[in-house]
């Protein structure tokens, strides 16, 4: 079973937009939820969401970390930091 990259989005208040705060590697959605909540627990988040990076559809670039669908690459770039 291969792990996938999940991007983590969160906001501290209802009035704020969700913003990208980082990512986790996980084997499925259930573990991605737990890993995100436990890894990025430095704030009292109003809302947190995770999305599998390969489900993000790039619009104007095919060379970034979110271009997995367009390029067929999955996961994060080799050597990419957290």
Partner 1 sequence: MSAGTFSPEVREALQRLILSLADTKRMLGIRYSDWLLGAPSIESGIATASMSQDEWGHARLLYAMLKDFGVDPVEIEHSRPPGAYCSAACLDEPFADWAAVVAGIVVVDGTLSLALEGFASGAYDAARRRIPKMLAEEAFHRDFGHAWIRRISAGTDEGRERLAAAVEPMLADAITCLLPDDEEAGLLAGAGLTAPARAARTRLARRLAEPLSGLGTAPATDPPLPADWISSRRRPAGEPAGDAVERARGDRNRALFVE
> Where do contacts with partner 1 occur on this chain (CB under 8 A)?
1, 3, 24-28, 30-31, 33-35, 37-39, 41
Of 15 and 44, the one with the shorter C-beta distance to partner 1 is 44
CB contact at 8 A, 30 and 6:
no
Of 1 and 59, the one with the shorter C-beta distance to partner 1 is 1
- Cα–Cα dist 60/45, whole Å: 31
Q: Which token pair is 48?
A: 């947190």
CB of 76 to partner 1, least distance (A): 13
CB of 39 to partner 1, least distance (A): 5
> Taken in order 71, 29, 50, 39, is the CA torsion positive or negative?
negative
């Amino acid at each position: 079973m291969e792990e996938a990259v999940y991007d983590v989005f969160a906001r501290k208040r209802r009035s704020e937009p969700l913003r990208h705060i980082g990512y986790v590697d996980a084997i499925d959605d259930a573990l991605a939820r737990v890993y995100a909540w436990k890894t990025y627990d430095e704030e009292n988040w109003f809302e947190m969401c995770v999305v599998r990076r390969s489900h993000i559809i790039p619009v104007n670039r095919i060379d970034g970390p979110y271009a997995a669908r367009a390029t067929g690459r999955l996961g994060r770039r080799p050597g990419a930091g957290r």
